[in-house]
Amino acid sequence: MINQNILHLFLGEWSGTGRGEFPTIEPFEYLETLRFTADHRPFVHYEQKTQRPNSTQSDYIPSHWESGFIRLLPDGQVELINTQGSGRLERLIGSLEQTEKRLILQLGSATFMNDPRMLETKRTFILDGNTLHYTQDMGTTAVSEISHHVEATLKRVV
């Protein structure tokens, strides 16, 4: 059984760049800040904010926002519940694996609310020292086969 405190390895602020794509949109790049915080309760809070270049490419404007909680369930699975700036609510369930050098969190969608277009999502977070890499794939009513959507590499902000 994985110890609840293992989630604390994610704590802190992470910042970096990412790239997104999906069959229905043009590829894009973005900046991201991801914060994980915790107190005495048995979960980790996270907040993710992304910015994309504005039309002149001279600065960045807000693009995506989400906030939620990650916790270990009694059966050893991991649960992520979040709300997104678009109004979507999402619950994902998955696993947490600790290797000699990495912590790998893999999650798959269990429930969506407020967005009938969503069929499935998968997220993978790989923590390797002071680098956090993640990917997200999704399937929608427009593209039902699960397809790559975003990928980012973030560094721990000291």
Residue 113: give its domain's CATH number.
2.40.128.20
Give the number of domains in the chain: 1
Query: Distance between CA atoms of 125 and 157, rounded to whole angstroms?
Result: 17
Averaged pLDDT for residues 17-36: 96
Query: Distance between CA atoms of 17 and 95, rounded to whole angstroms?
Result: 25
111: tokens are 């429930």
CB atoms within 10 A of CB 86: 10
DSSP strands (E only) in 10-146 = 12-22, 25-37, 44-53, 60-72, 78-84, 89-98, 103-113, 118-128, 131-140
What is the pLDDT of the chain when averaged over all its residues?
94
CB 138, CB 150: distance < 8 Å: no
Q: Is it the case that residue 122 has pLDDT exceeding 70? A: yes
The band of 2, judged by pLDDT with boundaries at 50, 70 and 90, is: low
Q: What range defines the domain where residue 49 resides? A: 4-157
Query: Distance between CA atoms of 58 and 62, rounded to whole angstroms?
Result: 14
CB 61, CB 52: distance < 8 Å: yes
Averaged pLDDT for residues 84-102: 95
The band of 104, judged by pLDDT with boundaries at 50, 70 and 90, is: very high
User: Residue 17 CA to chain centroid, in angstroms?
Assistant: 14
Averaged pLDDT for residues 100-104: 94
CB 83, CB 89: distance < 8 Å: yes
Averaged pLDDT for residues 21-32: 96
The band of 65, judged by pLDDT with boundaries at 50, 70 and 90, is: very high
Reduced to 3 states (helix: H, G, I; strand: E, B; else coil), residue 77 is coil
Q: Is it the case that residue 1 has pLDDT exceeding 60? A: no
